[in-house]
């Protein structure tokens, strides 16, 4: 395989789709605050009056939780050592705890790219077609979003790929681009793949409700390319990348010092630039750049239950999850699970009578029925009587709360989210340490948790200072809001 200059272009094309999807996909969280008249909703006097009736020592409960959820600087430092060690193991052999997958991407964009490319992004139910034009000093994008129906997700695979090709044809028609234009296309395919080349990857298994037949074990680039042929489109699928790799490259387009791309959203993963000589298990060609982007699959770190400070609540979340014993790091830091950890804590304190005077809530007892977005909302409630939190508890969970309950709940949310931020800093610090980028590294971070959870970024930065000392000043955390779609 030749590593020509254009490689980075095609990959960037895809990643724009990713950057855009980052914006769209994370609307998953509705972070809107209450409307002014809703704020007027006040706790009822009857409830406030009850406050002194059943005396439970909720202070002791919060103290107990603080002891379990606070992660000290020394603990963080020990974790970084183990993390670096596990990265090295992953670079040596297959199927290590952190998989450290070579992405076949050996170049980062320079910012001087020119031309027009197509990008497809299949993240789940949403499928996006995007056209990216690089012109002097600017990047223009047009995109269109499609929804993958349940029939397509679970039917014959060739129909699913025909649908992708039809979407692309429609997009070309709508934008006045002739169907026989030779265009390069990058495919962001957010499912587990065994990558065999930049433009070849076999689906390991479907996730996210997809079961389409005849795809597992096949090269998804070939399936897409064949569908384009069937529809008479002369498009060349030149790259297949994971969304995390996409995050890294789209940030690198803006800042060439970018060393890593991290996703802290519903799930969590990271990719970073490694020297090929360090990738001991790599027996493919050496590239001119002598570096390659590694898709870490870091969410599985800690699943040996050695390194992470797991609490009884984390273990409960893990046991009740569809993949027990896996992705334990992800389960402590990502949006899918933070609300669930908090929900288990609330249920526990309700059972001991330490929260809401023991009132049970049918809604709160439903698995995954306390979104991470709710935590963010509670933490942002700075009203003196926490009226917004009161309203949330009352309207969504039918819980009557006292001001003390609400303050305690806010502290619980802070404990869970601060721990998440500090643990995320462990991974970032491990990458900076492993690559020895002490003179300056930019880490691109995308995802709803990082972007919308107030103070999350500050907690990450605080922990990085504790871990890296002065070097932390040389680490820039960049948020991916630079690419917006105008179409």
Ligand X SMILES: *[C@@H]1O[C@H](CO)[C@@H](O)[C@H](O)[C@H]1NC(C)=O
Task: Give the nearest distance from C-beta 310 to ligand X in angstroms.
Answer: 22
The site string for ligand X over 259-278 (x = CB under 6 A, - otherwise) reads --------x-x---------
The site string for ligand X over 240-259 (x = CB under 6 A, - otherwise) reads --xx----------------
The site string for ligand X over 396-415 (x = CB under 6 A, - otherwise) reads x-------------------
For 288, half-sphere exposure in the C-beta direction (CA atoms, 13 angstrom radius) is 8
Residue 277 in tokens: 């000589």
Please identify, using beta-carbon distances, which residue of 440 and 487 lies nearer to ligand X. Answer: 440
Task: Give the nearest distance from C-beta 418 to ligand X in angstroms.
Answer: 20
User: Applying CB under 6 A, does 373 fall inside the site for ligand X?
Assistant: yes
Please identify, using beta-carbon distances, which residue of 306 and 470 lies nearer to ligand X. Answer: 470
Part in contact with ligand X (CB under 6 A); list of ranges 53-61, 346-354, 398-406, 467-475: 467-475
The answer to whether 172 and 165 have CB atoms below 8 angstroms apart is no
Residues paired with 139 in a beta bridge: 134
Task: Give the nearest distance from C-beta 147 to ligand X in angstroms.
Answer: 18
Task: Give the nearest distance from C-beta 242 to ligand X in angstroms.
Answer: 4
Please identify, using beta-carbon distances, which residue of 193 and 386 lies nearer to ligand X. Answer: 193
Name the residue among 30, 38, 24 with its Cα closest to residue 452: 30
Q: 3-state DSSP call for residue 345?
A: helix
Please identify, using beta-carbon distances, which residue of 375 and 485 lies nearer to ligand X. Answer: 375
Sole binder of ligand X in the list 190, 389, 408, 448 (CB under 6 A): 190
> What residues numbered 300-359 form the site for ligand X, per CB under 6 A?
none
Please identify, using beta-carbon distances, which residue of 206 and 482 lies nearer to ligand X. Answer: 206
* Cα–Cα distance, 462 to 179 (Å, whole number): 52
User: Applying CB under 6 A, does 236 fall inside the site for ligand X?
Assistant: yes
User: Applying CB under 6 A, does 370 fall inside the site for ligand X?
Assistant: yes
Task: Verify whether residue 190 is a known catalytic residue.
Answer: yes
Task: Spot the catalytic one: 59, 64, 93, 205.
Answer: 205
The answer to whether 98 and 90 have CB atoms below 8 angstroms apart is yes
Sole binder of ligand X in the list 88, 125, 359, 369 (CB under 6 A): 369
Query: To 10 degrees, the CA torsion angle through 88, 258, 80, 91?
Result: -10
> Using CB atoms within 10 A of its CB, is residue 466 exposed (0-12), middle (13-18) or buried (19+)?
middle
Task: Give the nearest distance from C-beta 429 to ligand X in angstroms.
Answer: 14
Sole binder of ligand X in the list 46, 436, 470, 486 (CB under 6 A): 470
210: left (phi over 0), alpha (psi -120 to 50) or beta: beta
User: Applying CB under 6 A, does 217 fall inside the site for ligand X?
Assistant: no
Cite the DSSP H helix spans in 43-142. Answer: 45-50, 58-69, 73-92
The answer to whether 12 and 132 have CB atoms below 8 angstroms apart is yes
The answer to whether 198 and 284 have CB atoms below 8 angstroms apart is no
* Cα–Cα distance, 242 to 207 (Å, whole number): 14
Sign of CA dihedral 449, 454, 456, 461: positive
* Cα–Cα distance, 118 to 103 (Å, whole number): 20
Sole binder of ligand X in the list 156, 214, 325, 440 (CB under 6 A): 440
* Cα–Cα distance, 219 to 199 (Å, whole number): 9
> What residues numbered 2-61 form the site for ligand X, per CB under 6 A?
30
* Cα–Cα distance, 174 to 90 (Å, whole number): 46
Residue 120 in tokens: 């497809």
Part in contact with ligand X (CB under 6 A); list of ranges 40-48, 328-336, 353-361, 367-375: 367-375
Catalytic residues: 190, 205, 243
Binding site for ligand X (CB under 6 A): 30, 101, 190-193, 207, 236, 238, 242-243, 267, 269, 295, 297, 369-371, 373-374, 377, 396, 438-440, 470-471, 474
């Amino acid at each position: 395989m030749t590593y020509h200059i254009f490689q980075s272009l095609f990959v960037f094309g895809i990643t724009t789709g990713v950057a855009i999807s980052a914006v769209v996909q994370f609307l998953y969280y509705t972070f809107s605050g209450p409307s002014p008249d809703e704020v007027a909703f006040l706790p009822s006097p009857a409830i406030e009056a009850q406050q002194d009736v059943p005396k439970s020592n909720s202070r002791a409960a919060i103290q107990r939780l603080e002891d379990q959820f606070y992660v000290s600087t020394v603990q963080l430092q020990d974790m970084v050592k183990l993390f670096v060690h596990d990265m090295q193991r992953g670079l040596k052999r297959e199927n290590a705890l952190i998989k450290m997958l070579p992405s076949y991407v050996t170049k980062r964009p320079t910012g001087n790219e020119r031309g027009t490319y197509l990008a497809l992004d299949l993240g789940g139910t949403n499928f996006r077609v995007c056209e990216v034009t690089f012109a002097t000093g600017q990047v223009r994008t047009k995109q269109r979003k499609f929804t993958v129906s349940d029939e397509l997700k679970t039917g014959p695979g060739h129909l699913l790929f025909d649908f992708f090709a039809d979407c692309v044809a429609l997009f070309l028609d709508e934008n006045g681009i002739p169907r026989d234009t030779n265009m390069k296309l990058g495919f962001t395919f957010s499912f587990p793949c065994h990558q065999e080349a930049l433009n070849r990857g076999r689906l390991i298994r479907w996730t996210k409700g997809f079961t389409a037949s005849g795809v597992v074990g096949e090269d998804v680039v070939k399936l897409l390319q064949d569908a384009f042929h069937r529809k008479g489109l002369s498009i060349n699928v030149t790259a297949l990348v994971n969304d995390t790799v996409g995050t890294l490259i789209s940030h690198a387009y803006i800042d060439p010092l970018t060393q890593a791309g991290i996703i802290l959203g519903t799930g969590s993963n990271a990719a970073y630039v490694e020297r090929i000589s360090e990738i001991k298990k790599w027996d493919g060609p050496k590239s001119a750049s002598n570096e390659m982007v590694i898709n870490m699959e870091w969410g599985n770190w800690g699943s040996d239950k050695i390194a992470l400070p797991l609490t009884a609540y984390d273990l409960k979340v893990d046991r009740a999850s569809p993949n027990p014993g896996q992705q334990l790091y992800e389960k402590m830091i990502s949006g899918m699970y933070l609300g669930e950890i908090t929900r288990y804590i609330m249920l526990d304190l309700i059972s001991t009578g330490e929260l809401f005077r023991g009132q049970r809530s049918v809604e709160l007892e439903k698995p995954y029925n306390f979104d991470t977005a709710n935590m963010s909302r509670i933490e942002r409630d700075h009203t003196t009587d926490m009226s917004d939190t009161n309203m949330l508890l009352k309207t969504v969970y039918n819980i009557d709360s006292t001001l003390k309950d609400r303050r305690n709940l806010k502290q619980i949310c802070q404990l869970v989210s601060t721990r998440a931020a500090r643990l995320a800093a462990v991974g970032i610090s491990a990458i900076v340490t492993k690559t020895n980028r002490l003179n300056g590294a930019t880490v691109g971070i995308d995802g709803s948790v990082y972007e919308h959870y107030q103070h999350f970024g500050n907690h990450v930065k605080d922990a990085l200072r504790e871990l890296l000392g002065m070097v932390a000043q040389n680490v820039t955390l960049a948020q991916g809001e630079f690419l917006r779609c105008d179409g």
